[in-house]
Amino acid sequence: MIIKEILSQFRLSKSIMFRLHPRFRVEREARKMVKRSFLAITTAVVTVALVFSIFLVRSRRPSYQGPVEQLSFGIPPVFYSMLPVIAEERGLFTQNGLHVRVQEYEYGALALEHLLKGDVDIAVAADFAFVSKSLDRHDLRTVASVATSGSEEIVTRKDRNITQTQDLRGKRIGVSPDTSAEFTLKRFLLFNRIPVDEVKLIDLGPAQLVEAVVSGEVDAFISWDIWVYEAKKRLGANAVSWPARIGQDFYWLAITTNTLIAKKPAALERFLRSMMQAEEFVKRNKAGAKAIFTKRWPREPAFVDYAWERCNLNVSLDQGLLTALDVEAEWRLQSRSGNKKSAPNSLHLIHMDALDAVDPKANTIFR
């Protein structure tokens, strides 16, 4: 018995000494670290899986649960119409309880004409076209800008002895009347001290301008992205061009009437929410946005890159818009023969409630 007890004490002492040995402590700590790491990784994996599951459930669930409302929307096939195209393609209108019928028109001023006729509920057009029509149709309102662009350029033929702006004197210049290009051209001429009566203005639709300058029917023209790009491509080394905008991009506006604002205020808010969700998609997925655009309107990749650099896709209302509308309204009134009136403050042309309800930070107009 005594011997067994001695042996037992010896084994216990040996075990204690072993546990106190540095090598044992290192191994024990290593095992603990492995165990803790395993638990941490397991917890992280479970957490990510749970968050992803919640995301999937929410992404599949419609964000709007009420009745579906109908809207019709007129857009031209230009790059700065991208947000509504993305909203339609990605089902954002549907998710926000809207059934939107999209109708295409050649250019923004034409889409605006069809809004005035009652063919569509909302149209997109440049700020100048909007303010020009608003001087006669007092029920027009813009609810947001959905893009800005400085893509307007003057394209000329070098073989007509045009290599600098002063060479435009006496030349035939194509322009689409009642569009932002008309306003921009006349400001450009004024800035360069060229009287309007020293050039010959030829009224042409946007789609006619490229053929007119290539065939020599006109010596130059002013227009925006796709027509400018096509003309420079076809003229090649014979093309000379200048940016026509002088320190101010134009605003691409979502425009409607007081009638729709009063009749469907909630639908208008959900329309703008769809636009802002499309904007977020563009920020996250530049390649995907370009793919949606070219799926709707086939364009070569070089043009898409060209237009992308000249356009800002953004849903907003800002002080620069108000300034632009005031200047354009004053110019339009003064250009009318015999008119002596000054343009009213353009603030009343902007309906802010819808955007304020969706995202007040997107509206920076002083009030």
For the stretch 216-246, pLDDT in tens is 999 999 999 899 999 999 999 999 999 998 7
Phi and psi at residue 315, to the nearest 5°: -95, 115
pLDDT for 189 beyond 50: yes
Residue pLDDT, tens place only, 167-184: 999 999 999 988 889 999
Banded model confidence at residue 257, pLDDT cuts 50, 70, 90: very high
Provide the pLDDT for residue 259. Answer: 96
Provide the pLDDT for residue 55. Answer: 39
Q: HEC profile for 164-209?
A: CHHHHCCCEEEECCCCHHHHHHHHHHHHCCCCHHHCEEEECCHHHH
At residue 63, the 3 state secondary structure works out as coil
Look up residue 275 and give its amino acid: M
Strand partners, 252: 126, 147
Q: DSSP code of 217?
A: S
Distance CA 276, CA 260 (A): 20
Provide the pLDDT for residue 85. Answer: 96
More confident residue, 358 or 177: 358
Provide the pLDDT for residue 248. Answer: 81
Distance CA 60, CA 246 (A): 46
Distance CA 50, CA 170 (A): 71
Residue pLDDT, tens place only, 104-160: 999 999 999 999 999 999 999 999 999 999 998 999 999 999 999 988 999 999 999
- Mean pLDDT for the stretch of residues 308-331: 93
Give one DSSP letter per residue of 281-313, joined into a string. Answer: HHHH-HHHHHHHHHHHS---HHHHHHHHTTEE-
Provide the pLDDT for residue 331. Answer: 87
pLDDT for 215 beyond 70: yes
Say what percent of the chain tops pLDDT 90: 71
More confident residue, 144 or 9: 144
Residue pLDDT, tens place only, 276-315: 999 999 999 999 999 999 999 999 999 999 999 989 999 9
- Which pTM does this prediction carry? 0.78
Residue pLDDT, tens place only, 10-50: 454 444 444 445 554 545 555 555 455 545 555 544 443 44
pLDDT for 328 beyond 70: yes
Banded model confidence at residue 65, pLDDT cuts 50, 70, 90: confident
Spatial CA neighbour of 313 closest among 113, 187, 145, 198 = 145
Alpha-helical segments (H) within the chain: 2-20, 22-60, 82-89, 92-95, 108-117, 127-134, 180-191, 206-215, 225-235, 258-263, 265-284, 286-296, 301-308, 319-335, 353-358
Distance CA 262, CA 171 (A): 49
Among the residue ranges 265-269, 270-274, 329-333, the one predicted with the least confidence is 329-333
Distance CA 354, CA 83 (A): 17
Distance CA 302, CA 285 (A): 18
Provide the pLDDT for residue 35. Answer: 53
Provide the pLDDT for residue 351. Answer: 97
pLDDT for 93 beyond 80: yes
pLDDT for 6 beyond 50: no
Mean pLDDT for all residues in the chain: 85
- Mean pLDDT for the stretch of residues 178-200: 93
